[in-house]
Structure 1
């Protein structure tokens, strides 16, 4: 089980719960999925919901993990999944993105209260790096190093989504932003560390902590709420755009500004041969999506 991340286990638990109910109804052994029972289960799920290929493929992976044989690779299952891909193809979550300058304009002021500064700093980290929230959540105090000339360098030593053998861990490097001190990640990070120093538990090495007793480490879900609150307060439509959309907004804005694809990949943690940015993240601005709107 050590080969499976906590996030994967959490994702698979939904599949197992639904599979267990299906087996109970059909009087099947949940610990012995067969190709035919898996296909019947997939069809049942599709008939009762509007989920796409990606979700069905996740169900396949979950059931393959507990199966006694390689049923996930069975020709019947593979053929069914090909049909699902044609009927309900995977699609990017967003076809448009928001303008990060809307949020930056909102954040371009002093924040002195720890709770508000926490929200600001997390959001600035996401927009300045293009990284996932998971990566920012894993920043440790002991891995932060400041430089008067180069700003701040942060090593991420804990496993992330794309960690693996012979793969480099993220190294976040952010220069100072002298012309915009209120938006400078380095300045706001130093301020956050100073403000939280008196209340930070002695053994707490992770950067972000909650601003009320017992001042424990902030969970990733808490950081997500902070970002969502900031986006909403800045005027971003959070009924459409969620915290992960900062990755789309930041990298798309960098591309529009002429930043090379290699630098975008390096900053956001994609490999040099990855086409993920082109396929799923490079999106036009929401206000540019309508040609008619732009000419009337």
Structure 2
């Protein structure tokens, strides 16, 4: 651990030089010390942040550190006017409404919400919203049938290698579960149970949406007996069997492992690359759609097919009252021609 006593990360006078950037986690730790958190409580406080959260805020912390260095400011002592000046600079540099909100959330950790969540900052962000309205990442989504038709060509499983089997299993699981790559990367063999008609997967690790009182994801994969070439449960079952001999001496038995020796567990970024490889091979434009688009594609396809909204929400891990699906994920396919509204009005 870096000795914060020997590394200055704030500047109180022009003669006090900044040392090298200490990293986001050290800035968070030092901010808590300055705000009176007892040393014995620090590790527990730091544990309240998911690693993905600190990673998401890392660029904001560094941008704020550089800004304070240039302006000769203490990064832990700033009022709303200085925060507004920083956000204005980032806006002029081209930061989006979403990015500015991320900056504000990051600064709330080290400055306190009394500085970053007030009428002035709120008004500023409303102004940004009007000047540069945010647009959804995807205005349309892709047709899951296109990808499933491609994956059906990788069958029977006796004739495909580990690379294709890994890509196919991961992609089918992503489509069938509507889960994030992070969640899929956490699947462990001990949490997979096979039943007569389905495979059930429990997620025991904390994920992005984990919070007190919320249920952990439970993925149910029924066996599609009528179409085994794209059955997610059969793909998972086959993948486990074909990788059984490669798992010797692995510390934790995660479902997905590397396709090359020493076949260690793979991270969410690797799974995302696998899915993008399948999307590209299927003819999907990966310059527009990433691996995360499987959530939008699968939930939208299910909803269009008449699946109850409550079922869609539960499958993707959204609460019964959540509006996330309609706000961010409900999309028509790029080649759809949904004229039902006008046709109903004019009787065509």
TM-score by length of 2: 0.80
CA contact (8 A) 1:139 1:156 kept: yes
Q: CA separation in 2, counterparts of 1:70 and 1:83?
A: 20
1:99 aligned to 2:146?
no
1:61 aligned to 2:105?
yes
Match of 2:293 in 1: 245
- Of residues 73, 78, 82, the one that matches 2:126 is 82
* Segment of structure 1 superposing worse, 182-191 or 76-85: 76-85
Map Cα deviations across residues 46-70 of structure 1 (whole Å, 9 max, x no partner).
1011x32221111011111111672
Q: Which stretches in structure 1 are left out of the alignment for 5+ residues?
A: 292-296
1:14 Cα deviation from its structure 2 partner: 0.3
- Of residues 189, 192, 196, the one that matches 1:144 is 192
1:42 aligned to 2:87?
yes
1:204 aligned to 2:252?
yes
1:82 Cα deviation from its structure 2 partner: 2.1
Provide the secondary structure at the position in 2 that maps to 1:173: strand
* Segment of structure 1 superposing worse, 276-285 or 70-79: 70-79
1:187 aligned to 2:234?
yes
Aligned positions, number: 289
Map Cα deviations across residues 148-205 of structure 1 (whole Å, 9 max, x no partner).
23x1001101111111001100111111000111111111111111111111143222
Question: Aligned runs of 1:17-32 on 2, under 5 Å?
Answer: 17-32=62-77
- Of residues 180, 189, 212, the one that matches 1:132 is 180
Larger radius of gyration: 2
Q: CA separation in 1, counterparts of 2:194 and 2:50?
A: 32
Match of 1:294 in 2: none
- Of residues 278, 299, 310, the one that matches 1:262 is 310
Considering Cα pairs closer than 8 Å and 6+ residues apart, tell me whether 1 or 2 has the greater RCO: 1
Q: CA separation in 2, counterparts of 1:91 and 1:114?
A: 39
> What is the root-mean-square deviation of aligned Cα atoms in Å?
1.5
Q: CA separation in 1, counterparts of 2:105 and 2:112?
A: 13
For the structure 1 residues 3 and 257, does the alpha-carbon distance in structure 2 shift closer, same or farther, using more than 3 Å as the test?
Answer: same
Provide the secondary structure at the position in 2 that maps to 1:70: helix
Map Cα deviations across residues 53-94 of structure 1 (whole Å, 9 max, x no partner).
221111011111111672012332222122222223333211
Q: CA separation in 1, counterparts of 2:190 and 2:206?
A: 16
Q: Which stretches in structure 2 are left out of the alignment for 5+ residues?
A: 1-45, 340-348
CA contact (8 A) 1:155 1:171 kept: yes
Provide the secondary structure at the position in 2 that maps to 1:187: helix
Match of 1:157 in 2: 204
TM-score by length of 1: 0.94
Q: CA separation in 2, counterparts of 1:129 and 1:245?
A: 13
